[in-house]
Amino acid sequence: MSEHETPSIWRKSTLSQGGDCVEWRFADDSVFVRTSKDPSGPVLTFSYSEWWAFVAGVKRGQADLDRED
């Protein structure tokens, strides 16, 4: 069973600590993103290609806060 077929649950990084975490869940053709400190608050919606492009950028260090560009 692929990740796209699993029941949709909110997930967060295993590296997250405390209550300020980004959570995501997979749906039919979208990825939903929210903050764990306000689970009933706004939710952002991304396509799978947008989500995986973001994940790839994070892995390459493009989201590091100490970047100067």
pTM above 0.75, yes or no: no
Give the pLDDT score at 8. 73
pLDDT one-digit tens code per residue, 14-50: 777 766 788 999 988 899 999 888 888 999 999 999 9
| Domain ranges (residues) in the chain | 11-59
- The answer to whether 28 and 39 have CB atoms below 8 angstroms apart is no
The answer on pLDDT for 5 being more than 60 is no
Q: Smallest Cα–Cα separation from 13: which of 33, 43, 27, 39?
A: 33
pLDDT classification of 53: cutoffs 50, 70, 90: very high
